Structure 1
Amino acid sequence: MIILTTLAAIAPTFDVEAASRAYLDTLSGAARAKSDAYFEGGYWMLLWSALVGVLSYLVMLRLGWSAKWRDLAERITRRRFLQAMLFAVPFVFIGALLTAPWEIYAGFVREKHYGLMNQSFGGWLGEQAIVLAVNALIMAVLIGIVFALIRWSPRRWWLWSAGAVTLLLAFIVMIQPVYISPLLNKYTPMAAGPLRDQILGMAHANHIPADNVYVFDASKQSKRVSANVSGLGPTIRISLNDNLLNRSTPAGVKAVMGHEMGHYVLDHIQWMIAQFALLLVGVMFALWWSVPRLIARHGARWGVSGPADLAAVPVYFLMVSLIMLVATPITNTLIRRHEIQADNFGLDAAREPDGFAQSAMQLSEYRKIEPGRVEEALFFDHPSGSNRVHRAMAWKAAHLTDLPVDQRGVVRPLPPPLNASIIPPSARAAPAPASNVQR
């Protein structure tokens, strides 16, 4: 009777708004201004990135490079699929050279300026070379498939191409955890201990077929915290980065892992592939309609004879850049809805509302924490920090009497990092300053 009376007295005293504000106010002053400036600058980065891409494709067309690459591929082989794959090589690598100044600014200089980059320029450049090589291989297969379909079905290629590209995407998602991600980071099994057992316990409770947790050395690249349950079928892998372990409490780690497991349990990978397929149908149809008209008007100057001409590849990508820029609010909304669902799942699975709020504050160090509604709808592919913290505190209020006594208060400051002993030696890194740890 005494315990029940005490719980009844505690429950009404929890103020969701006050608890949320206590967390939100831990990011203030210069740190908050820096976070807002970084994220708001990203709005313009979307536009400039698209325009830089469009400009690079126009250079390829106006200078006749695209037509020369086609001619070279045709001289080397008569097999059209191989011609398309050969065309992709100069298209990707010269395209990378054309956009290199912008990519260096956007991917290295700007990240360094905001304290989000740990790598030297040489280290960053080396990893970009690896990414470029992987992209070249994927692009060669993509161009080969799509142009084969254009020749095979001039009136319906847009529909068949949407399906083919979707299958290629699903294949990449399946092999990425095992064959692509390890090209950039070292993955090692997480050291045995209570936290690892709790993560696997959550996984098994939610029927996730994983018997190991992997730690990857993201601290060599940046200070962002991150984790994922990636792959499809036999390649399913639970991973978290060393920044998350170095900076977060066990409650924070479990909260993040509960969120990531939500993506798996709720079939978000499959749903995103399906939704991307529908978006692709629209994009491919727009290309089917617009590209022939552009070629009819400018093709003679560009050396492009028609939609099935390999020299038209930059025309297709030019239009894709513009279409995807306009579609950004749509793609952001699709992703953001899945993120909210995963948040709610993670709160139920981990039952760590304060850990979740602390993680949301860590992520808010590079995402604007309190945007307007329209701003969040247009530019955020994840819920804002204020949105996430408020939902965590609302969940806590609804489950207050179910939580242990030591979890019923509000923890205002961010707790100290975990003991480094839970991190494998190969994945250890010094704890980063609170103002710079990002995801």
Structure 2
Amino acid sequence: MKKVIGWSLGIYLVFGLFIAWYLFLGANTDIPAQLKGSPADPQTFMNERELLLSEEYSKIKNLLFFLSVPFEWLIYTLVLVIGISAKFRDWSKVSAKFSILQTAIYLFWLSLLVEVLSFPLSWISYNVSKTYNITVQSTQSWMKDLLIDFWVNYALMILIVGVLFWLIRRNEKRWWFHAWLLSIPFSMFLMFVQPVIIDPLYNDFFPLTNKELETKILEMADRADIPADHVFEVNMSEKTNSLNAYVTGIGSNSRIVLWDTTLQRLNENEILFIMAHEMGHYVMKHIYIGIAGYLVLTLVGLFIISKFMSFMIRKWGHIFKISSVKDIAVLPVFLLLISVLSFVSDPVSNAVSRHQEKSADLYALEMTDDNKAAVSSFQELSKAGLSQVNPPFLVKIFRYGHPTMLERITYTNEFEKSEE
């Protein structure tokens, strides 16, 4: 046990030092010589202070990201090796008679422990964003969102974990396939209810108050054969200075949403370009392609997890005080493997997402025929979020679901509308 703990802490420390060296000293974020002085060069649209802050802020936030992911793995490893998971299982069995109540009790203690141990990094991340004036959310409001996250996730986990272990106990060899089959309607249900039930827990949504702008956006939607009665605005200015717009939900619950910070900072042409971009996602059915890709990855992931879980319990179950994959105490193994597989698959899913985002950009350029508004909107997004225009390679492949701002501004500036 001491060896496992020592090696885990040592590997995490070495990894952290390497990432810090890579982000602050090793990676090259300079603009290519041929793009110096172009609209993609941040020196043409940022002042010296913004340039300095964007580099500092991006490096710190990227470091926190790369530290937080393996830190989660470290937590689950220690919970297993020290025997905490087995102890929570024993508590749950003593505290309740029925299986679902035992699951709820076990999940509460595990979720609370992970939340408490993860809190310092979350707190640092929040304060960094506040220091650089990206986050303007009060501590009270931030803590409220954290509590909502905890209870929403806890409620969902009771349902998911309860069903998962019922399947494992019924069919130890093929539970992964049955779990995948059930995940399909469950995922669809969550995507359907998220815009109307989950999202409003965090923010206020309402139809766009600028009716003249809404009319123009709906005219664009009509030209693209998109059935839309409203564009939604969300009150984000109480929490952040960043800009965003997105498509969420499926079917009749689909929504195009604009942050109010975007409305305050961008001009009408820039907003229309962003809306055309979101319409591009709808027209090219990216949300359904994303669902299909998610389901394929889930199927493969659950199969891999089933094999690794059985192997890990056979090899180290005596250390974890877990004798079978049917034991609820094996859940940290499941969560650990999900996190690792998700991180490993990020470069692939992000690459697909970047391709879709570029397609949506090009669609918006075709629809608006306004390169100037597109370029200026990307420049404003960079300034508002203090994001690096040309991030390091590892940051791009693991964190960027959009093309880099260097790429977006360059191909947008060079775009020529195709002749019909």
TM class, shorter-length: 0.7 to 0.9
Q: What letter corresponds to residue 123 of structure 2 in structure 1?
A: I
Give the Cα–Cα distance (whole angstroms) in 2 for the partners of residues 313 and 336 of structure 1.
Answer: 33
Corresponding residue number in structure 2 for 1:381:
401
Unaligned runs of 5+ in 2: 1-34
| Per-residue deviation, 1:256 | 0.9
Among 290, 296, 299, the alignment partner of 1:278 is 296
| Per-residue deviation, 1:354 | 1.8
Whether 2:112 is the aligned partner of 1:87: answer no
Among 46, 58, 69, the alignment partner of 2:77 is 58
Among 52, 64, 67, the alignment partner of 1:48 is 67
Corresponding residue number in structure 1 for 2:171:
153
Corresponding residue number in structure 1 for 2:182:
164
Give the Cα–Cα distance (whole angstroms) in 1 for the partners of residues 373 and 102 of structure 2.
Answer: 54
Corresponding residue number in structure 1 for 2:152:
134
| Per-residue deviation, 1:172 | 1.6
8 Å CA contact retained: 2:76, 2:333: yes
8 Å CA contact retained: 2:245, 2:259: yes
Corresponding residue number in structure 2 for 1:325:
343
Among 246, 252, 256, the alignment partner of 1:234 is 252
| Per-residue deviation, 1:252 | 0.8
SS at match of 2:246: strand
| Per-residue deviation, 1:346 | 1.8
Whether 2:194 is the aligned partner of 1:176: answer yes
Whether 2:128 is the aligned partner of 1:110: answer yes
With 30-39 and 210-219 compared, the bigger mean Cα shift is at 30-39
Corresponding residue number in structure 2 for 1:32:
51
Give the Cα–Cα distance (whole angstroms) in 2 for the partners of residues 75 and 371 of structure 1.
Answer: 52
Among 97, 103, 109, the alignment partner of 2:116 is 97
| Per-residue deviation, 1:166 | 4.0
Give TM-score, length-normalised by structure 1: 0.80
| Per-residue deviation, 1:243 | 0.3
Q: What letter corresponds to residue 304 of structure 2 in structure 1?
A: A
8 Å CA contact retained: 1:229, 1:238: yes
Query: Residues 238-249 of structure 1 correspond to what in structure 2 (within 5 A)?
Result: 238-249=256-267
With 31-40 and 138-147 compared, the bigger mean Cα shift is at 31-40
Among 304, 317, 327, the alignment partner of 1:299 is 317
The sequence identity of aligned pairs, in percent, is: 26
* Cα shift readout 1:322-362 (whole Å, capped 9, x = no counterpart): 22222221221122122112111222233332222112112
Give TM-score, length-normalised by structure 2: 0.83
8 Å CA contact retained: 2:354, 2:402: yes
Unaligned runs of 5+ in 1: 1-15, 403-439
Change (3 A) 1:152 1:334: farther
Give the Cα–Cα distance (whole angstroms) in 1 for the partners of residues 254 and 317 of structure 2.
Answer: 46
Give the Cα–Cα distance (whole angstroms) in 2 for the partners of residues 297 and 22 of structure 1.
Answer: 54
Whether 2:389 is the aligned partner of 1:369: answer yes
Give the Cα–Cα distance (whole angstroms) in 2 for the partners of residues 375 and 98 of structure 1.
Answer: 25
Corresponding residue number in structure 1 for 2:333:
315
| Per-residue deviation, 1:150 | 1.7
Q: What letter corresponds to residue 334 of structure 1 in structure 2?
A: V
Give the Cα–Cα distance (whole angstroms) in 2 for the partners of residues 265 and 360 of structure 1.
Answer: 22
8 Å CA contact retained: 2:64, 2:121: no
Give the Cα–Cα distance (whole angstroms) in 1 for the partners of residues 342 and 143 of structure 2.
Answer: 26
SS at match of 2:157: helix
Whether 2:413 is the aligned partner of 1:393: answer yes
SS at match of 1:327: helix
| Count of aligned pairs between the two proteins | 384
| Per-residue deviation, 1:58 | 2.8
| Per-residue deviation, 1:319 | 2.1
* Cα shift readout 1:22-51 (whole Å, capped 9, x = no counterpart): 787213533224323333444433331122
SS at match of 1:293: helix
Corresponding residue number in structure 1 for 2:9:
none
With 179-188 and 151-160 compared, the bigger mean Cα shift is at 151-160
Q: What letter corresponds to residue 294 of structure 1 in structure 2?
A: M
| Per-residue deviation, 1:371 | 4.0
8 Å CA contact retained: 1:86, 1:140: no
SS at match of 2:233: strand
| Per-residue deviation, 1:275 | 0.6
SS at match of 2:151: helix
Give the Cα–Cα distance (whole angstroms) in 2 for the partners of residues 21 and 336 of structure 1.
Answer: 18
Whether 2:225 is the aligned partner of 1:207: answer yes
* Cα shift readout 1:237-276 (whole Å, capped 9, x = no counterpart): 2221110110000011111111112222221111111111
With 272-281 and 54-63 compared, the bigger mean Cα shift is at 54-63
SS at match of 2:237: helix
SS at match of 1:220: coil
Among 357, 362, 370, the alignment partner of 1:339 is 357
Corresponding residue number in structure 2 for 1:8:
none
SS at match of 1:276: helix
8 Å CA contact retained: 2:236, 2:261: yes
Q: What letter corresponds to residue 106 of structure 2 in structure 1?
A: F
Whether 2:287 is the aligned partner of 1:260: answer no
- Greater RCO, CA 8 A, separation 6+: 1
Q: What letter corresponds to residue 25 of structure 1 in structure 2?
A: T
8 Å CA contact retained: 1:228, 1:240: yes
Corresponding residue number in structure 1 for 2:23:
none
